[in-house]
Structures are given as C-alpha cells and as structure tokens.
Amino acid sequence: MLNYVIRRILIAIPVLFGVTIINFIIMRMAPGSPIDMLVSPKLPAAAIEAKKVELGLNSPVYVQYYHWLKNLVLHGDLGYSMITYESVTKMIWSHMGPTVLLMGTSLILGVAIAIPLGVLSATRQYSKLDYTAMTGSFLGISVPSFFLGLGLIYIFSLQLHWLPSSGMTVLGGSGGVVDVLRHMILPVIVLTASVAGRNVRYVRSSMLEIMGQEYLRTARAKGLREFLVVNRHAMRNALIPIVTVLGMEIPILFGGAVVIEQIFSWPGIGQLTLSSIMSRDYSTIMGLNLVAAFVVILANLLTDVLYALVDPRIKYSYQGAAKS
C-alpha cells in the first residue's frame, strides 16, 4: 500500500508541472494584463514601462515562467501578488481556512444526511418516506444555490432578523466560536442541501442494487436480524461506489465555493480566485491554480486509498502491480 501511495505521489509531480505550464500559457493568452488594472493608459510610456520592470513583466514569457518555477522549487515561494503585493502563499493560506471550514462542515453534514436517508429510502422503496426523500433530493439538486442563498438571506436576515447575511465574523467584534457558527448557518444550509441532494440518490440506487443480491438472502436465511442485514452486510458493499462519488465531491465543493462565497461574502478562496482572475493577478492565479490541482490530486489519491481500504479486491491488485 505504501509503495502504491508513494508511486502515486511521484506521478503527481509531472501532472502538477504540466498543469502549471498549461495554466501559464492560457493565462497569458487572455487579453489584458495586471498593468491595465494598475496604471491608467493616460500615463507616460516610461511610467508604464517602469511598472512592467517592477513586476517582472518586461522579460519574455518563458523567462517569467522559469523564474516563477525556480522560486517555487528552490524556495517554496509562490511570489507576490501583482496587485496587492501580498505574499501569495500567505494570501492563499489565510483564505484556505474559511473555505475548508465551510466545505468540510457541509460535506460532513451532507453525507451524514445522505447515507441514512438513502439507505432508508432503499429499504422502504416506494414508501411515503422514499417519495419525500426523493422529492427533497430533487429539490436539493435542482434549486440553484444562489437562489436558495438569496431566499434564505431574505427570510432569516431581512424578515426575521435571526442571522447575519454575510461575512464570517462581526467586523471589529471579538469573534468567537458562536459568532462564526451564526455566520456559517446559512451558507452551510445551502451547500449541505446540494451535497445531500446529490448523494441521497447515489446511496439509494447503490443500496437498491445490493438489496437484490443473493448473499443477503443467505444472511436472512440464516436468521440474521434485518437491521444487521442492512447495516452490516448490505451497506458495507453499497458504500464502496459512494467513496468514489465523495472523492469527486471535494473538487466540486471547491469550485462551487465561488458562488456561495460571493453571495455570503465568505472570506474564502473562491472570491480570491474570482478577483485575481478579474484583475489578471498572474502570480495569485498561478498559486491558486496549483493549490486547486493539488486538492484534486489529493482527493483522488485519498479516494483510491479509501477504496482499497473498504474493498479487499483492490488491495490485492495493487500488491500484484507493485510486485511486477
């Protein structure tokens, strides 16, 4: 297993390298540059040139990429934002926490709702509960998150005055867990609704497939209680495909953060991504892209490792591959 993980990590390095090159090329092909954002075109040509020199944009593109890569590999340094002059590493790091908090909570809550509900729906197919759960999940998938978000703000912030409509803490307040929790409620509801909505259906269909299997009939035949049949024998196999789906859920949440973070002014990575693209902040875009690629690769690796843990068949094939 360790061999396998190491091999996967080694493969990830050229992938990340490729991603940065492609990103660099696409980014530089987009019209506009940070210079357009920083200096008015009415400035004398010498002043615009001075800014280019200062930002290192005067050298050829491949040289700029080389400098970026050299800094990253030798110093682990992602450089400075071309707009704010903040260290990119610091900027990403400080925005990562809020995003992970929001996404992690929503993912856990979403799964905590989806698995029991999916299992119940499957065991009681065509019951009232099943129909309700399926309608609910349908709504969770199909109601756009910005719409749900705005609706919740309207009800809970504007009409009832129960919850704040934006931010993560009261500005200038002392913060505190309660404060963060209050700000989290609405965005978490929106994200959880979509996570749970998507996954209830996966769990249900995967469970339904297993429920017809013969080994369950055997389990029942030997007199095992239905509770154990479902939760021990059926569920363990039904959840294997769910691991894959959840692995894909992490990058989806990471991307979906942009919309939710904007609606709720959540100080996370989503809005940073958007604004750095809008202002052509090359160094920040590169940093964020690297992090996003890293998250996707990590989520995939985690999925595969978990998969091997829950499915013994896969472990054997890894070992076989490792020997050869």
Partner 1 sequence: MITRKGMKMSLMLLLAALLVTLTACSGSDANSNNAGTDSTSAANGKKVVNIGVTYAPSGINPLAPVGLVSTYVAGLMFPPLVELDSDLTYKPMLANSIETTDNKTFTVKLNEQAKWTDGTPVTADDVIFTLKLMTNAAVASNYAYIFATIEGIDDSGYLPEGTADIAGVKKVDEHTLTFTTKAPTTLNIFKDTIGRNLMTLPQSALKDIAPADINKSDFMQKPTVTSGPFKLTSIDRDHYVTMEANKDYFKGAPKLEQLNFKVLQGSAISTQLQSGEIDMNIPSAGVIPINDYEKVKGLNSVTTVDGPPIATQFMYINEKVVPDAKQRQAISYAMNRGQIVDKLLKGAGEVVDGYFTSYSPYRDETVQPVAYDPEKAKSLLQESGWKSGKTLTLSVLSGDATLEQASNIIAENLNAVGIPVKIQMLDLATLIDKLVKMDYDLGILTVSLTPINPLPDIAYFLNEGNPSGYKNAEVEQILASLGAETDEAKITSDYAKLQQIIAQDVPMPSIYATKALGAVNNRVTGASPKDFGMFINVNEWDVK
Q: Are 260 and 266 in contact (CB under 8 A)?
A: yes
**Alpha-carbon distances, residue 144 vs 30, 129, 139, 140, 205 (angstroms):** 29, 24, 9, 8, 24
CB of 7 to partner 1, least distance (A): 20
- 3-class DSSP state of 266: coil
Here the tokens at position 308 are 């091997």
Of 256 and 267, which CB lies nearer to partner 1 in the complex structure? 267
User: Dmax over Cα atoms in the chain, in whole Å?
Assistant: 88
Of 23 and 33, which CB lies nearer to partner 1 in the complex structure? 33
Of 16 and 180, which CB lies nearer to partner 1 in the complex structure? 180
Picking from 105, 186, 110, the residue whose alpha carbon sits closest to that of residue 145 is 186
Of 111 and 207, which CB lies nearer to partner 1 in the complex structure? 111
- Rounded CA-CA distance 237/220 in Å is 16
CB of 269 to partner 1, least distance (A): 10
DSSP state of 56: T
CB of 253 to partner 1, least distance (A): 13
CB of 82 to partner 1, least distance (A): 10
CB of 186 to partner 1, least distance (A): 12
Of 134 and 274, which CB lies nearer to partner 1 in the complex structure? 274
Q: Which residues contact 139 (CB under 8 A, 6 or more apart)?
A: 193, 197
CB of 32 to partner 1, least distance (A): 3
- Rounded CA-CA distance 89/77 in Å is 7
Of 66 and 146, which CB lies nearer to partner 1 in the complex structure? 146
Of 10 and 45, which CB lies nearer to partner 1 in the complex structure? 45
- 3-class DSSP state of 70: helix
Of 217 and 236, which CB lies nearer to partner 1 in the complex structure? 236
CB of 185 to partner 1, least distance (A): 12
Of 18 and 32, which CB lies nearer to partner 1 in the complex structure? 32
Residue 68, judged by CB atoms within 10 A of its CB (0-12, 13-18, 19+), counts as buried
Burial pattern 79-110, b for ≥16 Cβ within 10 A else e, equals: bbbbbeeebbbebbeebeebbbbbbebbbebb
Q: Are 188 and 106 in contact (CB under 8 A)?
A: yes
Here the tokens at position 126 are 């065509």
CB of 56 to partner 1, least distance (A): 11
End-to-end CA distance of the chain: 14
CB of 93 to partner 1, least distance (A): 11
